[in-house]
Amino acid sequence: MKPTIRALCALLTIAGCSGETYKTIGSLESHDPQFGKLVSPDAKIEIIAEGFSWIEGPLWLPTEDCLVFSNIPPNKLWKWTEKEGAVDYLEKSGFLGKVPRPGFKGAFDEAGSNGLLLSPENKLVLCQHGLRQVALMTTPLNDPKPEYKTLTDRNHEGKKYNSPNDGCYHKDGSLFFTDPPYGLPGGADDETRETDYSGVYRLSKDGKVTLIDDQLERPNGIALSPDQKTLYVANSHGTNAIWMAYELNDDGTVKGKRVLKDVTKHVGTRKGMPDGLKIDDEGYIFATAPGGVWVLDPEGKHLGTIVTKEFASNVAFSPDKKTLYITADMLLLRVKLR
C-alpha cells in the first residue's frame, strides 16, 4: 500500500538501541471488553526505530532472534534486535537493478520487497515488487545475500504478475499470495503490465498456480485462521475497503467466500487502509486499517484499535505472541500483548 509521497531519506536516523528509553505514540481505543483481554489497557505503543521511507512485511526470525522488515523504496531489508536496534540485513531485496528503475518517472518507486514469510523449511520467502515474483532466498538466514530461487513469476495464464505483495503458507505446503499493481513503475496503468486484474492466488507444492479471486481491486494483506479453514484477505481500495473471508476445503481449495467486514466509511477519517494482517492462536485478527491496527474477532466484530497516528502497513507477532510489532510508514512500533 502506498503512503503519502515523500522524498527518500538519504541518511536515516534510526532510534532504538540497547538501554534506550523508547518514545511512545498513539493510544488504545476499546470497543468491547474482549479487547482488554488481548491488549492491556495501560500498554504503550513504543517507537523502537524510525527514519525509514516506507516499511512493510515485518517477520520474526526465531532462529536468529530478530525482526526483519522491508524498506521498500530503498530496496532493502532491515533487522531489529533489542541489543542493536535497527541495522542493515539485506540489499536488493526486491530488484537486482538500480532504483529508481529505467523509465520510472514518478517520485516514489516501490521496487523493493514487500511481504516476508518463512517457508516450511525455515527459508526466507520474499514478495518481490521489482522482480515481479515470489522468491526464496537461497543463502542462510544468518548470512543473507541477494541470491534467489523463483517460486512463481507467472500466473495460471502464463502472464507475468503485477507485483506480489504478501503471502502465507497452508499446512499442506501450498502458498497463498496477493498481487496488486503497487510495485509497477506506472501502477495500474504501467505499459509492461500483462495481467489486467489484481489476483489472489494459490501456489501448490507441485508448482501449479490457481486463481482464487480476480474481483478485488487491490488485494493486499493475507493470513490463515489457526484451523486453516478460513483465508482472510484485505482489499486496500478507497471505495471498497474490506476484508474478505474465504472458506477452504481440507486440501486448501476454496469452497465459498464472504465479506468479513467493510470499513469503507472510515477511509479518510484517519490515516490508513485495510492492509497487512496477522491472526493469533485463538483466531483474533490484528489488521491494519484507518487509524492504526484494528483487533477483530473471527466473525469480524471490531473489539478495539491500536491507534498509531501514522499509516500502519503491517504487523507481526513475537514467537510467544506477547508482543505485536507494527510497521507504520517511517516508524517501527511495538505493543505488549496479554
Instruction: Give a yes or no: residue 101 inside a domain.
Output: yes
pLDDT in tens, 73-83: 999 999 999 99
d(CA 160, CA 176): 17
Q: What is the model's pLDDT at position 322? A: 95
Q: What is the model's pLDDT at position 253? A: 87
pLDDT in tens, 84-139: 999 999 999 999 998 888 777 665 689 999 999 999 999 999 999 999 999 999 99
Q: Count Cα neighbours of 122 within 13 Å in the Cβ-side half-sphere.
A: 7
Q: Counting beta carbons within 10 angstroms of the beta carbon of residue 223, is it exposed (0 to 12), middle (13 to 18) or buried (19 or more)?
A: buried
d(CA 272, CA 176): 24
User: Cis ω on the peptide bond leading into residue 100 (within 30° of 0)?
Assistant: yes
Instruction: Give a yes or no: residue 10 inside a domain.
Output: no
Q: Count how many domains the chain has.
A: 1
Instruction: Give a yes or no: residue 278 inside a domain.
Output: yes
Q: What is the DSSP letter of 173?
A: S
| 200 closest CA partner among 170, 171, 166, 173 | 166
Question: The domain that contains 163 carries what CATH number?
Answer: 2.120.10.30
Domain membership of residue 170 as a residue range: 46-336
d(CA 210, CA 214): 11
Instruction: Please give the model's pTM, rounded to 2 decimal places.
Output: 0.93
- Mean pLDDT over the full length of the chain: 93
Instruction: Give a yes or no: residue 86 inside a domain.
Output: yes
pLDDT in tens, 268-324: 999 999 999 999 999 999 999 999 999 999 999 999 999 999 999 999 999 999 999
- Give the pLDDT band of residue 14 (cuts 50, 70, 90): very low
Instruction: Give a yes or no: residue 27 inside a domain.
Output: no
Q: What is the DSSP letter of 54?
A: S
Q: What is the model's pLDDT at position 294? A: 98
Worst-scoring range by mean pLDDT, 1-15, 204-218, 240-254? Answer: 1-15
pLDDT in tens, 203-241: 999 999 999 999 999 999 999 999 999 999 999 999 999
- 273 within 8 A of 328, measured Cβ to Cβ: no
User: Average pLDDT for residues 145-152, to the nearest whole number?
Assistant: 98
d(CA 64, CA 123): 12
Instruction: Give a yes or no: residue 234 inside a domain.
Output: yes
Instruction: Give a yes or no: residue 9 inside a domain.
Output: no
Q: What is the model's pLDDT at position 20? A: 63
Q: What is the model's pLDDT at position 175? A: 98
d(CA 126, CA 203): 14
Instruction: Give a yes or no: residue 38 inside a domain.
Output: no
d(CA 243, CA 222): 9
Q: Which residue has the cell 502497513?
A: 313
Q: What is the model's pLDDT at position 265? A: 98
